[in-house]
A and B are shown apart, each in its own frame.
Chain A
Amino acid sequence: MLRIDGLSAWYGEAQALREVSLQVDEGEIVTLVGRNGAGKTTLLRCLMGLHKDAKGTIEFLGGDVTGLGPHKRARRGLGYVPDDRGIFATLSVEENLTLPPVARPDDDREAWSLERVYETFPRLRERRRFPGTKLSGGEQQMLALARVLRTGARLLLCDEPTEGLSPLIVQQIGDILREVKAAGVTVLLIEQNVHFAATVADRHHLLAEGRVVESLDNDEVLAREGELLEYLGI
């Protein structure tokens, strides 16, 4: 579904990604694990077309999206949730949800209607008139996920959705991701919580200094949890 080939990226002189190549198949949940500064966020931003200073090719759903702007990638089915959730303060909760143009015209899957979003996330219905940033961290993450689903995204790029959230909320996010997966949406996820990663994801890539240094499955992650935690400095 997604194929990255020889992707490099720079911030001025500093190289953030070095020839990253990886693949995500339809229906998978894949995580990117690594220390701060390993290039995880840069990788997601490159995939969404938000980081310009990059080289390499990105294929999505059989088409080359490398030269496309972010809004065109979104319309092809890429969805991005930034690490700060990206909730608009000047928009109400409901406006945050209705901002994206809903689903792509060539898509006949059932779209995420406002009603369906509110059934899945009752809290959002209660708070729909609130300014987006007046929600709690967990509610903002739910809003961010619901909003990106409304774009009709086939592949979600989520930058640390569990960061700074309580264990109960983290569990809820896990449930949502499994539900999203069951609905046929693929997820590429940045995650520092390796235990959480192993419970929701299928495969894991370890990034260091802008390279994919190891690719692991769930059993390997769980067997090496202590070592990984130590490596990540958590």
Chain B
Amino acid sequence: MLQQAFNGLVGGAFYALLALGLAVIFGMLGVVNFAHGAFYMLGAFGSYVLLDSWGVNFWVALPLVPVVLGVAGTVLERLFIRRLAPLDPLYNFLFTFGLALILQDLVKREYGVQSQPYPRPSALGGSIDLGLFTYPAYQVFVLAVSVVVCAAVWVVLTRTRVGMIVRAATERPELTRALGIDVARWVTPVFGFGVALAGFAGVLAAPMRAVNPLMGSDLIITVFAVVVIGGLGSVFGSVAAGFAVGIVSALGNYYVPSLSQTLVFILMAAVLLWRPAGLFGREEAL
């Protein structure tokens, strides 16, 4: 039971990182980024290609791949998303959805649909004795790193001027501009940062999950449920819901395997019936 819950926390770490990126992007841009799963997949493939073709190891890929993807994200925002933003939200919805399909198929054409192997970094190859049970060291590392990253984002959002501007612009973009802040200038880095977070989760996933072109689209549906459960645009809610959903689905997988795929959506429906704006969403924001 405890071990299952721990499995859930590790799985939840990926949900939390992905949901965090989606939430800041949705909050600041009002864009539902359907390409988020594709960026996660690119993160995993990026580290695979770096290792396979150039022998660049995990520890270099972990910062490098997210930075490259983040920069690509800022270019994407500048060239396309910004231009579509003033139109109906459906345009960015279609654009990011189409982009996800294109990225997926490009990778599929090059590498096929079978999973590529990615070894665990040797320093994290063993197991750690956690007292009640022993656990693979790499999984413990993943959990620790994502908790640190989520906490760091939280500190930046709540304790810095940048965070204050992001919070204000998320709540009322127009009024924030009327107070003299150039909101558009902050949108690009926020989008890039969200994409980088997805890439970061992808690099972390490579050694423990199947690296294949569909890994992102398999996961992202659940992540959308996580964001809705946490409350659209609520950063804290997304992270909390990410870990909670991880635990619920791991326990569900163990005790009622037949429901493992649907459990998250049952949870989402229940939360929405109880709180229509999600756990940490604000009613007036919707």
Q: Which residues of A approach B to under 8 Å, CB–CB? A: 48-50, 69-71, 73-75, 80, 82, 86, 88-91, 95, 98-101, 147-148, 151
Q: CB-nearest residue of chain B relative to A96?
A: B168
Of B178-186, B188-196, B219-227, B246-254, the one with at least 4 CB within 8 A of chain A: B178-186
Asked whether, in the complex, the Cβ of A86 is within 8 Å of the Cβ of B180, the reply is no
Q: CB-nearest residue of chain A relative to B185?
A: A71
Q: Which of A86, A99, A148 has the most CB of B within 10 A?
A: A99
Complex Cα gap A192–B99 (Å): 52
B38: min CB distance to chain A, Å? 30
Q: List 28 A-B contacts (CB under 8 A).
A: A69-B177, A70-B178, A71-B177, A71-B178, A71-B180, A71-B181, A71-B182, A74-B179, A74-B180, A80-B175, A82-B175, A86-B175, A88-B171, A88-B172, A89-B171, A89-B282, A90-B170, A90-B171, A91-B164, A91-B167, A98-B164, A99-B164, A99-B165, A99-B168, A99-B179, A99-B181, A100-B180, A148-B179
| Candidates B170, B171, B172, B181; contact of A101 at CB < 8 Å | B181
Complex Cα gap A98–B176 (Å): 12
Asked whether, in the complex, the Cβ of A90 is within 8 Å of the Cβ of B179, the reply is no
Asked whether, in the complex, the Cβ of B179 is within 8 Å of the Cβ of A151, the reply is yes
B188: min CB distance to chain A, Å? 15
| A95 / chain B contacts, CB cutoff of 8 Å | 164
Q: A86-B172, A90-B170, A101-B180 are in contact. List 6 more A-B contacts (CB 8 A).
A: A71-B177, A71-B181, A80-B178, A86-B175, A91-B167, A99-B179
| A151 / chain B contacts, CB cutoff of 8 Å | 179-180
Query: Total contacts A to B, CB within 8 angstroms?
Result: 58
Q: Is B174 an interface residue (CB 8 A)?
A: yes
Complex Cα gap A89–B168 (Å): 9
Complex Cα gap A82–B164 (Å): 20
Complex Cα gap A70–B174 (Å): 8
Q: Which of B175, B178, B183 has the most CB of A within 10 A?
A: B178
| A71 / chain B contacts, CB cutoff of 8 Å | 177-183
| A98 / chain B contacts, CB cutoff of 8 Å | 164
Asked whether, in the complex, the Cβ of A50 is within 8 Å of the Cβ of B174, the reply is yes
| B179 / chain A contacts, CB cutoff of 8 Å | 71, 74, 99-100, 147-148, 151
| A49 / chain B contacts, CB cutoff of 8 Å | 178
Q: CB-nearest residue of chain B relative to A86?
A: B175
Complex Cα gap A86–B175 (Å): 7
| Candidates B168, B178, B181; contact of A91 at CB < 8 Å | B168
